[in-house]
Structure 1
Amino acid sequence: MDESNAKRKQAHMAWMDRWRRKTTCHLRKWISKHGHDVQRQILNGMAFKLGSGAVSLLILWAQSRF
């Protein structure tokens, strides 16, 4: 019984290793192609949120002032 469980565990580990290798390879290729686009989108999103927050603060300041 123990040998059967050990074989199953090894087969499962081998399957997981293949899946992990395949996924890692795919992600590396995707990042090399699209990495700059993702970084640019993140920076654009951060700038948009920062600008939106600044405008909101200006509006609140103007409302409280006048």
Structure 2
Amino acid sequence: MHSNKKGLPEGNPRRQPLDYLRSWATRHGRTVRDQMLRGAAYGVGSGAVSLLLIWWQGRR
């Protein structure tokens, strides 16, 4: 498979996003699903810290 100047795979336009995501996963050693779960966990953790700070400020 050849790549264009942007590093995106050439070929069927409908296959480009899937091929790009597969190659991204190969380059970074994790799947897109795993990366999305990491992002969600980070967001939940950030929200929990924010709620803890608001609760603590309310007690003072």
Q: For this structure pair, what is the TM-score category when the shorter chain's length is used for normalisation?
A: 0.5 to 0.7
Calculate the TM-score normalised by the size of structure 1: 0.53
Structure of higher RCO (CA pairs closer than 8 Å, 6+ residues apart): 2
Report the aligned-residue RMSD: 2.6
**Structure 2 counterpart of 1:38:** 35
Contiguous gaps of at least 5 residues in structure 1: 1-14
Q: How far apart are the structure 1 equivalents of 2:52 and 2:38?
A: 21
Higher helix share: 1
Runs of 4 or more, structure 1, over 4 Å off, are: none
* Percentage of matched positions with identical amino acids: 2
Count of residue correspondences: 45
Contiguous gaps of at least 5 residues in structure 2: 11-16
Calculate the TM-score normalised by the size of structure 2: 0.58
Q: Deviations over 1:33-57 (max 9, x none)?
A: 6111111001100000000000000
**Structure 1 counterpart of 2:5:** 16
